[in-house]
Amino acid sequence: MLTAGTRLGSHEVLALLGPFPSSGRAGGKGEVYQTHATKLGRDVAIKPLPEAFAHDPQRLSRFQREAKLPALLNHPNIATIHGLEESNGTHYLVVEFGPRRDAAGAGGTGRRAAGGRGAGHRPADR
């Protein structure tokens, strides 16, 4: 688990957004963090590949493949993937970040952070 203030490349971790189902696979969990992209001057979400999988070539390859497909899509209900990066052995997705909305669509505006089912998708009323 990353803590506030940790740096990954040009990203400074601000907060853990939560564990989310990982890639739609049953039982998989992935952590998603709000970070500040210091080069861009804006907040983004990052989803690191779990450390347990970082040295498994098959898992790393799957992580990279699963990042590429959504990056090709442009849809109002899918958060934009800004990149796939690596820093000090940690591989992670960089995804657009915005305030979260509750299940009824009330509160906050903007987009949800990436990380699995529900996360990474924009509210349907946008």
Cα torsion 109, 75, 63, 21 to 10°: value is 50
Tell me the domains of the chain and their CATH numbers. 7-96 (3.30.200.20)
> The pTM is what?
0.69
What is the mean pLDDT for each group of 10 consecutive residues in the chain (126 residues)? Answer: 92 88 52 92 92 88 86 82 90 82 36 43 45
In this structure, the strands spanning 81-87 and 90-96 are antiparallel
pLDDT at 100: 53
pLDDT at 27: 42
